[in-house]
Amino acid sequence: MAHGNDSPVFLIGYRGTGKSTVARELAAKLEFDAADSDVVVENEAGKTLAQIFAEDGEPAFRELEARAVTALSGKRRMVVSLGGGAVLRESNLEVIRRAGPVVWLTASVDTILDRVNRDETTAHRRPNLTVAGGRAEIEELLAVRTPLYRECATLTVDTEGKTAAEIADEIVARL
């Protein structure tokens, strides 16, 4: 195994780049556990991300997310998929960079839009983050987040036209 230690591996990237699916595949290949920071937040709050945003606001969500990131960064033998906006908080970037390798999963705007639209859980679990939603939202948020993903990533993997297993194999080979 190329990774060679027990430190957590973090997957970052925009919603729809395959982080949760790839995390499960990669964890199986590394014989690690997989965790999703959004699921940790939902479990902690007892409600969906959409409900947290609607009832408590984005700042409350980002606070819960930061706590989840910190807790997950202390885990051994764990592949952690982070929410797409986890990179917006500098303290999260510092925590994950210190904890282990950070893999940035990328995809084109068209692919992201297609994947998000095909994900049945998107509508009720994940809120639009801008008034526009859709393609305009993806382009707007990628413009802000791409430099943060780039700055934080140990490794960048393009997910276009690849299965989750192929992406996981590529990560293992490159870690």
User: Do residues 149 and 104 make contact, with C-beta atoms less than 8 angstroms apart?
Assistant: yes
pLDDT the model gives residue 118 = 83
Other residues' Cβ atoms within 10 Å of the Cβ of residue 13:
27
Give domain limits for the chain.
9-174
Helix axes of 134-152 and 90-99: crossing angle, nearest 10 degrees: 50
> For residue 35, which of 96, 76, 97, 78 has the smallest C-alpha distance?
78
User: Do residues 124 and 48 make contact, with C-beta atoms less than 8 angstroms apart?
Assistant: yes
User: Do residues 144 and 85 make contact, with C-beta atoms less than 8 angstroms apart?
Assistant: no
User: What stretches of 74-175 show up as alpha helix (H) in DSSP?
Assistant: 90-99, 109-118, 122-125, 134-152, 164-174
pLDDT the model gives residue 124 = 58
The span from the CA of 50 to the CA of 46, in Å, is: 12
The span from the CA of 17 to the CA of 45, in Å, is: 25
> For residue 128, which of 36, 45, 15 has the smallest C-alpha distance?
15
Other residues' Cβ atoms within 10 Å of the Cβ of residue 152:
19
The span from the CA of 91 to the CA of 57, in Å, is: 20
Q: How many residues does the chain have?
A: 175
pLDDT tens, N- to C-terminus, the chain (175 residues): 345 589 999 999 998 899 999 999 999 999 999 999 999 999 999 999 989 999 999 999 999 999 999 999 999 999 999 999 999 999 999 999 999 999 999 999 999 988 888 876 655 565 656 556 788 889 999 999 999 999 999 999 999 999 999 999 999 999 9
pTM for the full model? 0.90
The span from the CA of 109 to the CA of 97, in Å, is: 26
Q: Does domain 9-174 have CATH number 3.40.50.300?
A: yes
